[in-house]
């Protein structure tokens, strides 16, 4: 019971912080995403160090700064310049420090793509309603999957990756996501309803893939949680693993199919 209370309070705290960052202004959101990216990439690099991989952390942290300026619309901080800087810096490290292994460079780059770059898509959505859509899909899936799984979950979804996840919980997460998105669409007057239901359906599956991807990484490096900053949840990556995938998916699906 105590752990449930701790988990609930911790979860509500991050939800409140997220809502404040979204509703205040763009700068608040950019700095919030910057902070999440910085903590998240640190968690990732600390995790992979358990496998004797030594990512070049300073480049990962500097990429977060670059993406922050990108979010603030500094002209010089476009994506091309940021990635040119990242690749040039990694190659320079490899040339100057012979002990830097190829795997160290590869994991450094993967961490940058996986965390700050994917996080950046929340900012790229540039609409409070669409950002709300991302969190409705992702956290709606997580919450309903957890509740339904606890109540009626019997059949394991991916026991080798996440023993507690069930097929019943997965279906409950999808239905819960569709329900929340439908309420959001009706309340805000977005149209057509069927389009956003499809977005929610696919997005919920992607949210669960994002969650399982994080579970796979944790299994590979031999840890239970990425961090401890959120009691009852773990680290930033433990709470935002599905958000990373859903934000990116939502941005591109709306950019391509929704005017």
Q: What is the DSSP letter of 234?
A: B
Query: In degrees rounded to 5, what are phi and psi of residue 163?
Result: -60, -25
Q: Are 97 and 217 in contact (CB under 8 A)?
A: no
What is the pTM (predicted TM-score) of this model?
A: 0.92
CB 246 within 8 A of CB 210: yes
Tokens representing residue 88 in the block: 């040039």
pLDDT in tens, 37-81: 999 999 999 999 988 899 999 999 999 999 999 999 999 999 999
Peptide bond into 192 cis (omega under 30): yes
Query: Which residue segment(s) compose the domain that 154 sits in?
Result: 2-257
Q: Give per-10-residue mean pLDDT for the chain (259 aa).
A: 63 85 92 96 94 93 97 94 95 85 94 97 94 94 89 82 84 94 94 95 96 91 82 81 96 91
SS3 158: strand
How far, in Å, CA of 246 to CA of 200, rounded? Answer: 10
Q: What is the DSSP string of 23-44?
A: HH-HHHHHHHHHHHHHHHHHHH
CA 79 to chain centre: 19
Collapse the DSSP code of 166 into the 3-class scheme (helix H, G, I; strand E, B; otherwise coil) and give the result. strand
- Number of domains composing the chain: 1
């Amino acid at each position: 019971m105590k752990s449930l209370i701790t988990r609930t309070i911790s979860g509500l705290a991050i939800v409140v912080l997220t809502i404040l960052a979204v509703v205040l202004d763009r700068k608040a959101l950019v700095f919030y995403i910057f902070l999440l990216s910085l903590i998240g990439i640190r968690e990732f690099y600390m995790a992979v160090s358990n496998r004797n991989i030594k990512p070049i952390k300073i480049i990962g942290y500097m990429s977060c700064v670059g993406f922050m300026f990108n979010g603030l619309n500094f002209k010089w901080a476009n994506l091309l310049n940021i990635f040119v800087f990242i690749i040039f810096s990694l190659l320079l490290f490899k040339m100057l420090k012979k002990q830097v292994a190829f795997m160290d460079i590869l994991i450094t780059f993967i961490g940058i793509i996986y965390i700050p770059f994917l996080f950046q898509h929340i900012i790229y959505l540039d609409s409070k309603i669409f950002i709300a859509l991302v969190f409705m899909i992702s956290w709606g899936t997580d919450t309903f999957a957890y509740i339904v799984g606890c109540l009626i979950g019997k059949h394991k979804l991916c026991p080798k990756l996440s023993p507690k996840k069930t097929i019943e919980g997965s279906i409950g997460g999808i239905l819960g996501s569709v329900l929340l998105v439908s309420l959001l669409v009706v309340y805000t007057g977005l149209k057509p309803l069927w389009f956003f239901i499809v977005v929610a359906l696919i997005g919920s599956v992607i949210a669960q893939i994002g969650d399982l991807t994080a579970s796979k990484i944790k299994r590979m490096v031999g840890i239970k949680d990425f961090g401890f900053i959120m009691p009852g949840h773990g680290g930033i990556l433990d709470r935002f693993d599905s958000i990373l995938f859903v934000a990116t998916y939502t941005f591109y699906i709306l950019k391509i199919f929704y005017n």
